Amino acid sequence: MKLQDQVVSLELSKQLKEAGYRQEGLWWWQLTGFPIEEYYNGKLTNNPNNETLRAIIAPTVAELGEALPDTFVSGQLDIKSNKPHTFACYGWSQIPQQEADTEANARAKMWLYLKKERKKSG
């Protein structure tokens, strides 16, 4: 499995950071290029201690599993479904299932959903 499939995408990593996800972990998106609006693009690195490094955490599937409540599970949808290359994260019945192209991204979407709902409920 490719590393990019085991960590959250750059776009979702930016959303996690903006939502307050802790910026601690093994893998990071090193921000490269010139920022046009915000962050232009990135490459994965595991050396976040470089002081010149502009970076955003790229949480792994396991790190997000620890950040979500224990009652949440995730995995690839059934091959017989109409979305065979889709991963889902789900938990309590009243919480909508979150789907994405990788398990890490599905878990990230669930974390973001739960964070947003906590803000709403105050």
Half-sphere exposure at residue 71, Cβ-oriented, CA atoms within 13 angstroms: 6
CA dist., res. 106 & res. 12, Å (int): 10
Q: How far is CA 49 from CA 4, 69, 105, in A?
A: 21, 29, 25
**pTM score of the predicted model:** 0.83
In this predicted structure, the answer to whether residue 41 has a pLDDT above a threshold of 80 is no
- The mean pLDDT of the chain is 84
How wide is the angle at C-alpha 91 spanned by C-alphas 85 and 97, nearest 5°? 40
- Nearest alpha carbon to residue 115 among 102, 98, 100: 98
CA dist., res. 99 & res. 74, Å (int): 9
